[in-house]
Structure 1
Amino acid sequence: MNDFISKIMMRKSEPILDNEIPNDILQNVFKCALTAPVHKNLRNWHFYYFSGKKRDELGQLISPKKEFYSNNLQFESDLKKFNSKFYNSPAYLICVLKVDNNHAVPVTEQYVTIGAVIQQIIISTELLGYACYWRTGKWCVNNDLREFLNLSLHDSIVGFISLGSKLNRTPRKTVVDQKDFFSIV
């Protein structure tokens, strides 16, 4: 089997990452991302890279805030959970879709396109010997972050990609049977 195919088939998201990806490798990941298919050449997305002190500032910006909790125990629990996830990565790439409701490309296809760009980032990161983890959820609906990034009302944070080197590569546990999802007609 081709080495690239084998690497893609064994790819697994790694939630705990170590050292930052060197800048020259990171630039190659970004170049690969730009090869994703786009409809009508609409590239209405932007990615924000945070590492080092900027990553720490990002963590402070999106972490749970005590003033929004009536229960101190719940706040402490949520903060501990956040810290255990957020600080397991040396860098983050925040993925933003600048939704264009007036473009000929339907909004659903705009989301598909940024998904394709993200997949290029994930695959190229992996093939270049590094690892990543795509996070969504509460982090993506943070008003402080939206304001910090100066996002418009229609802009959508579609994910955080953790980027770094692998600490302990765990083997892929399950292999999905392609016959469950693909039919040759």
Structure 2
Amino acid sequence: MTDLYTSQRAMRNMRRAAMQRGVIAILDVGTSKIACLILRFDGPDRLREQDGVGPMAGQSQFRVIGAATTRSRGVRFGEIAVMNETERAIRTAVQAAQKMANVRVDHVIACFSGAEPRSYGLAGELDLQDSVVTEQDVSRVLAACDVPDLGHGREVLHAQPVNF
């Protein structure tokens, strides 16, 4: 579980770095179409104070600066059936959105349903040495969780601590 936490922390850090650079792409891979949006963030210094929880969570405003869709190829019933066709369709959508935005993206948040996705809730406990929860505390409590058998050919795509 510690390796899982380490890889998820690395992904969060890459996403945070991309957002700090100010440009990120969102990709939706579906059975009928593939869509790509490119967002430019205005930065945390331009937060709207009246939004309430958004500013407290470190969110910022963004603008859509590029958008493109293409017919999906290689995806059947929400599952990638022919990888090279799907890759070509994804490249088409991303390149068209980059051309509209006049910017090259280096980080994409991808959304797709996949083959029978599953979600698990895990529970763990840890006695804190201090009143502040650190990254090491989160890592230790995740390492203490019992991970269920995911099944043959399955892997974890996302693991997020949700409650302390």
Task: Give the TM-score taking structure 1 as reference length.
Answer: 0.28
The higher radius of gyration belongs to 2
Q: Hey, which of these two has a bigger chunk of helix by percent?
A: 1
Task: Give the TM-score taking structure 2 as reference length.
Answer: 0.30
